[in-house]
Structure 1
Amino acid sequence: MTVDRRRLLGIFGVGAAAAGCATAPEPPRAPGAPGTGGAVRFAHGVASGDPDATSVLLWTRISAAEDGQRLRWQVARDLAFGRIAAEGLTDTSRARDHTVKVVAEGLQPGTDYWYRFIAADGTGSPVGRTRTLPEVSSAEPVVLAVCSCSLHPNGLFNAYDAIARQETLHAVVHLGDYLYEYGAAPTDYGMVNGQRLNRIPEPPHEIVSLADYRARHAQYKADPDLQAAHARAPWIVVYDDHETTNDSFDVGAENHQPDEGDWAARKAVALKAWFEWMPIREPRADASLEAATYRSFRFGRSASLHMLETRLMARTKQLDYATDFYTAGPDGQPVADRVGFMAKLNDPSRRLLGEDQLAWLERDLAAAARAGTAWQVIGNQVVMARVTAPDFGALIPEATLNAVLASLPEERQQSIRSLISLFGQNVPLNLDAWDGYPAERERFYGAVRRARARPVVLAGDSHTFWVNRLADAAGADVGVEFGTTAITSPSPADSLGLPPAFANQAVNDANPEVAFIDFQPRGFVRLTLTPERARGELMAVSTILEKPYRLDVLKAWEVEAGPRGVTGPLRED
């Protein structure tokens, strides 16, 4: 989601909330392994990810100038490491930025484990906690923390700290925008708070090279709240656009310019750094990095999780209102052409998943449904529900609009006025979301229906809490969607002078698929799944500007499992 689009649309995400007066109890911070100096030697913490019933991936990075490092890793059934379940040796080097990945195998299903790394000089890493997936016959409840969009300069990672404090947590599902590519100029995204909090991007310019992306990953993983969340439970991750650059698609990106080099080269180094620094299994020798990100996980009979790649592999370039809604008139001036725009929008050749990924998804959904798994959870980057833009032009007082626009350059004022004029013409709110690819959405819904799946779609990117009831073009129910707000990334809801509550009501009133929306909070979704029901709790932190903070359940919504392929009514709890 582009910075310009945030200003233009003025609807997705949120700024800092008011300061809270309390915080949750301190989570357990496990001691390090034998030796001293772990905070220096292992300055970026530990992480685990991509669990299955008998194995899990372990990650760390050793801070070392010299090349060629050997480490010991251990997995234990207890915090004291008295009952070792798996151990071994592994190597790292400058070629992979001294990051370390190992797959610990031979573990028991549905079991909590503790893990650590030990350098050759005896220095121990922090200790992490992880968990394997349950047996396929297990009916135990599954608790997931769903998060996205952590803009480091814009605020403290209090929501990550809150995730680390969760008493019960089986996995963290991160839907992308784990980091952002922007620089440290005063006008760069998030830098008003960045200067206030002294959270200055490293390096202090837009990241383009491999060294740049590695340095930005290192800055993020040096954050203690993020380290604590990684050490709390296994993560299941996928990237969105900012891990490369804003509004990326298969052959380019809005925020990639010709003077920044070749797009394919930039994408390659960004993905190389992402795979080095994230707790995701390495791709097979015959798979691309992009294809390695779509994959499935089975949480017993309660749920299967299917992570999608919607950004770099098959996505057709986004439409843009500024260029695609207008044609040249007789005098050469642009003339609105809604009919032509809608024809472009509904072009069946516009793709988001692509044929191969869609075929894979249908197979995995069908297999999970046949096996009796209650919920097929879709880890997806962008909002899937149909969301029409409200007629903000009829809702915003002219004096308010003039006051907001007065601080912007003249050309930006004109572009915002042009966009507002469009928002009374029954057009999508966000062309970067599934609304920009309606034919692909219908193909997705067809795959879900043929698989007789019972989908719970997860969405990030929007910096907004959503609870949506999904329906196809004919109005038939498909499933439900829980959209998570951002960890820290800001909301532009105020950029048009709209109080968040007013914007919430305007979007809700204009869209029958939207059951609930809130632009204001920062936080995450706590999703609890059993064979009988799915429950989404919208978890909001009270501030991203200071500590302590307060964590509250903003709203909770539930849906019951109906017959195979059918979800019950969505209701607020």
Structure 2
Amino acid sequence: MRNLNRRHFLVTGLAAGAAAGIPATAQAATHGRDLPANPFTLGVASGDPDPSGFVIWTRLALNPVAEDGMGGVPPRPYTVQYQIYADERARRVVRTGVVRAVPEWGHSVHAEISGLLPGREYWYRFKTGRHVSPIGRALTAPFPFQYGGALSMAFVSCAQFEHGYFTSYRRLAEEHPDLILHLGDYQYEYTKNTYVIPGGNVRHHDGPETETLADYRRRHAQYKADPDLQAAHAAAPWLVVWDDHELDNNWADEIPEKPEVPQPNFRRRREAAFRAYYENMPLRRTSIPRGIDMQLYRRVRWGRMATFHMLDTRQYRDDQGCGDGYRDCPASVDPARSITGAEQEAWLLDGFRQSRAQWDILGQQVFFAQRDNNAGPQKVTSQDAWDGYVASRRRITQGWMDAGVRNPVVLTGDVHAHWASDLKLDYDDPTGPTVGSELVATSISTGGDGKDSDPQTHPFLKINPHLKFYNNQRGYVLTKIERELMTADFKVVPQVQAPGSGVHTRATFVVEDRVPGVKQTYLRPVDPAARAAGQITIEDTVRLETERP
């Protein structure tokens, strides 16, 4: 990402500010002059695009891991200017404005930009005093009734700072996607030497286990200071939702991981975690937390091509029925239990009924398809996933079927491995129709390097025929969404316990328009002489195959 100098920002920024009608006093304000160093140590980010704009984010911090959680910035407001550009070299300013970074919100900045053209690339940056931020790239969504071009969308999850370097974020930034979904476990709550991988962690968390607002601010800042994560944030707009580690492992509504251990301050901890999450994410003001509540589920439309239903499967769920692990649990089939809560479920089903999108995509946290780990008649499944809320899953699946959703696709994180699966209404009938598709992203770093394997040897794939792919390495999923096809490349970074690894595509799956379920694709060898003669193009070598050629 290109850094441009202070003089360029001042010349273009003040001229554009006058044109935009910003008051002269706001234009001249440089309250950051007393800051002894550049406070943009946590980078920049954008998120939640619509056809006329997006939100842009930064947070001022001189010492990101200062013990009080305030980043070493004096406890007073600072004026921060922003500029939006129509070109990467930042020569054509199209919007400028002034916002305040106040200590009550950790000196974070959330500027909601509007009035831009649909389906366009833009760039942005911030300034306070003499200090200028890095530049970031954002996009507006297409006009609501247009498809636009192919959408390059990536999704990621589970970045445990201690387990490995964030190389996957760096490689993702180099892909230049249009949109990035983060499906949870953006940061982890543990103190040093609590969650340790075989061979030992490669770096360490600062501070205690996160419980207070200062703790969560420090932890977010430690992650945000990572240059690979900053590169991914600056590369494209993000849609973010949390999972459990943004607060506490396997929490459920107001119930902590270990309810048998008295935690009288858990509600206060939840409030602190939510506040810090908002402060550190490119979210709109509709997500400003109110006490222990935060509106995170929301709908983002990418023209007619795709509607993203971003879900929250933590804040409203019933507690896990028989603990968090794999169990044969009678409570899992209780129709009264829900993983989304009644209000979010109704919102989602209504969204299905109203959708006119080519692709309806659920961005959510935990494994959706059934994963039975017992080859016998007894069903043993994870109670922390949708398997622990079978009736809830069935209602939502039936809901998209009843609504005639054209192409339902569920995107998932959490499980630290790549998966691809067909979705069923009734998983006990393997011959029943496939009614949707699920793509699961492995972790960015959680679990360390992992290892490659033959996916067909995994016992889950033998027990569950609707599960089609598994890989236990680190990485991300990069998709290309077109009107007739969604292509998903399962990207793998072979090593994260040392920095600088390359990336390759471990497998590619496609979902065809109006054909629910996933199919693996292979590159079919061709005669080089025929290609040289122009008889065969590179595109001709890609074939949809159900069996390896």
2:410 matches 1:457 = yes
Q: Structure 1 runs of 4+ off > 6 angstroms?
A: 35-39, 284-289, 491-494
Instruction: Quickly say closer, same or farther: Cα 1:218–1:506, change in 2 above 3 A.
Output: same
The 2-side partners of 1:561 and 1:146 are apart by: 20
**1:337-356 paired onto structure 2 within 5 Å:** 341-342=329-330, 344-356=331-343
In structure 2, the partner of 1:56 is 54
In structure 2, the partner of 1:553 is 505
2:192 matches 1:184 = yes
Which segment drifts farther, 305-314 or 458-467? 305-314
2:441 matches 1:484 = yes
Please point out which of 481, 484, 493 is paired with 1:532: 484
Instruction: Quickly say closer, same or farther: Cα 1:234–1:569, change in 2 above 3 A.
Output: closer
Q: Deviation per CA, 1:228-274, whole angstroms, max 9, x where unpaired? A: 00000000000000000000101212157745542211111100100
In structure 1, the partner of 2:529 is none
2:88 matches 1:79 = yes
In structure 1, the partner of 2:386 is 434
2:119/2:148 contact within 8 Å kept: no
The 2-side partners of 1:441 and 1:123 are apart by: 50
In structure 2, the partner of 1:234 is 237
2:224 matches 1:221 = yes
2:142 matches 1:129 = no
In structure 2, the partner of 1:40 is 38
Letter in 2 for 1:547: P
1:460/1:485 contact within 8 Å kept: yes
Letter in 1 for 2:354: A
The 2-side partners of 1:122 and 1:570 are apart by: 54
The 1-side partners of 2:492 and 2:288 are apart by: 41
Q: Deviation per CA, 1:58-90, whole angstroms, max 9, x where unpaired? A: 100112224110111110101332211111000
The 2-side partners of 1:293 and 1:277 are apart by: 14
Shift of 1:501: 4.3
Shift of 1:40: 3.3
Please point out which of 138, 142, 149 is paired with 1:140: 149
Q: Deviation per CA, 1:1-52, whole angstroms, max 9, x where unpaired? A: xxxxxxxxxxxxxxxxxxxxxxxxxxxx211451699983211000000111
2:423 matches 1:470 = yes
Shift of 1:300: 2.0
The runs of 5 or more residues in structure 1 that have no matched partner are 1-28, 326-337, 392-423
The 1-side partners of 2:271 and 2:289 are apart by: 16
The runs of 5 or more residues in structure 2 that have no matched partner are 8-32, 62-72, 523-549
Which segment drifts farther, 253-262 or 58-67? 253-262
Instruction: Quickly say closer, same or farther: Cα 1:560–1:502, change in 2 above 3 A.
Output: closer
In structure 1, the partner of 2:544 is none
The 1-side partners of 2:85 and 2:345 are apart by: 39
1:144/1:172 contact within 8 Å kept: yes
Shift of 1:449: 1.1
Which segment drifts farther, 508-517 or 218-227? 508-517
Which segment drifts farther, 501-510 or 92-101? 501-510
Instruction: Quickly say closer, same or farther: Cα 1:39–1:445, change in 2 above 3 A.
Output: farther
Instruction: Quickly say closer, same or farther: Cα 1:285–1:309, change in 2 above 3 A.
Output: closer
In structure 1, the partner of 2:161 is 152
Q: Deviation per CA, 1:152-181, whole angstroms, max 9, x where unpaired? A: 0100000000111014x1111000000000
Please point out which of 384, 394, 397 is paired with 2:368: 384
Instruction: Quickly say closer, same or farther: Cα 1:433–1:33, change in 2 above 3 A.
Output: farther
Shift of 1:569: 6.2
2:172 matches 1:163 = yes
1:184/1:191 contact within 8 Å kept: no
Instruction: Quickly say closer, same or farther: Cα 1:103–1:32, change in 2 above 3 A.
Output: same
Partner of 1:306: helix, strand, or coil? strand
Instruction: Quickly say closer, same or farther: Cα 1:65–1:191, change in 2 above 3 A.
Output: farther
Q: Deviation per CA, 1:116-135, whole angstroms, max 9, x where unpaired? A: 0010x221011111111111
1:33/1:117 contact within 8 Å kept: no
After TM superposition, the score normalised by the length of structure 1 is: 0.79
After TM superposition, the score normalised by the length of structure 2 is: 0.82
Instruction: Quickly say closer, same or farther: Cα 1:445–1:502, change in 2 above 3 A.
Output: closer
Shift of 1:314: 3.0
1:144/1:526 contact within 8 Å kept: yes
Q: Larger % of helix: which?
A: 1
In structure 2, the partner of 1:262 is 265
**1:316-465 paired onto structure 2 within 5 Å:** 316-320=319-323, 341-342=329-330, 344-368=331-355, 371=356, 373-390=357-374, 424=376, 426-453=378-405, 454-465=407-418
Q: Deviation per CA, 1:198-226, whole angstroms, max 9, x where unpaired? A: x21021x2111111001000000000000
More RCO (CA 8 Å, sep 6+): 1
Letter in 2 for 1:377: I
The 2-side partners of 1:367 and 1:282 are apart by: 25
**1:290-329 paired onto structure 2 within 5 Å:** 292-320=295-323
Shift of 1:380: 1.1
The 2-side partners of 1:170 and 1:39 are apart by: 32
2:109 matches 1:100 = yes
